[in-house]
């Protein structure tokens, strides 16, 4: 069981605190900056949102941790468990599916050593099957750490994933 303490509520890195303070000025309500702030935390603090991070964000925004957790759990792009060093997102909505997304996914599993939604044993990859990343015109596609690889074949998958450390 994780205990919410005063300390965990106030330990955002100073750079992020400064960034979020500025971020809040863009919105009429302070809490409106919560989602961009969570994205930044995820980028800066280990690729996922740990309980400590959620509590620190709650502390900054003067919200209850339960509310921040509610927001973070609503969106699939927030990771609430540790993930691998690289994030592989394979589209499987209708355009990609019609053009062989399942084969892409199968190859991505083999190349990364993950099951969909899982993390490889060596911690290099986390593989997720997502609905749509907005690249239907060049289906099938996958995104590696946010970089789109479009119109790919199963063979390309090994090349793409093999290229990272």
Query: Exactly one of 69, 91, 96, 120 binds other proteins (CB under 8 A); which one?
Result: 69
- What is d(CA 27, CA 35) in angstroms, rounded to the nearest whole number? 12
Nearer to other proteins, 19 or 52 (CB): 52
Nearer to other proteins, 29 or 155 (CB): 29
CB 51 to other proteins: min, Å: 7
Question: Interface mask (CB under 8 A) for other proteins, residues 37-66, using x and -?
Answer: --------------x------------xxx
Window of 1-9, 34-42, 96-104, 118-126 that interacts with other proteins by CB under 8 A: 1-9
- What is d(CA 58, CA 67) in angstroms, rounded to the nearest whole number? 8
Query: Exactly one of 19, 52, 67, 97 binds other proteins (CB under 8 A); which one?
Result: 67
Write 127-134 long-range contacts (CB < 8 A, 24+): 127/88, 127/90, 128/76, 128/87, 128/88, 128/89, 128/90, 129/89, 129/90, 129/92, 129/105, 130/76, 130/89, 130/90, 130/91, 130/92, 131/91, 131/92, 131/93, 132/91, 132/93, 132/96, 133/89, 133/91
Nearer to other proteins, 8 or 89 (CB): 8
Is 77 a binding residue for other proteins by CB under 8 A? The answer is no
99: its two tokens: 């053009």
Is 118 a binding residue for other proteins by CB under 8 A? The answer is no
DSSP state of 38: H
Which residues make up the interface to other proteins (CB under 8 A)?
1-4, 51, 64-67, 69-70, 73-75
């Amino acid at each position: 069981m994780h205990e919410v303490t005063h300390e965990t509520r106030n330990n955002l890195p100073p750079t992020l605190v400064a960034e979020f303070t500025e971020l809040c000025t863009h919105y009429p309500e302070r809490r409106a900056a919560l989602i961009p702030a969570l994205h930044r935390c995820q980028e800066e603090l280990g690729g996922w949102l740990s309980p400590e991070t959620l509590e620190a964000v709650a502390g900054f925004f003067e919200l209850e941790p339960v509310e921040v957790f509610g927001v973070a759990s609503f969106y699939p792009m927030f990771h609430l468990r540790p993930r691998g060093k690289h994030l592989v997102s394979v589209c499987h909505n209708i355009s990609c599916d019609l053009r062989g997304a399942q084969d892409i996914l199968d190859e991505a599993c083999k190349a990364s050593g993950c099951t969909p939604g899982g993390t490889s044993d060596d911690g290099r990859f986390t593989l997720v099957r997502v609905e749509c990343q907005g690249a239907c015109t060049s289906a099938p596609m996958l995104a590696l750490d946010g970089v789109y690889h479009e119109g790919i074949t199963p063979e390309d998958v090994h090349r793409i994933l093999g290229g990272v450390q």
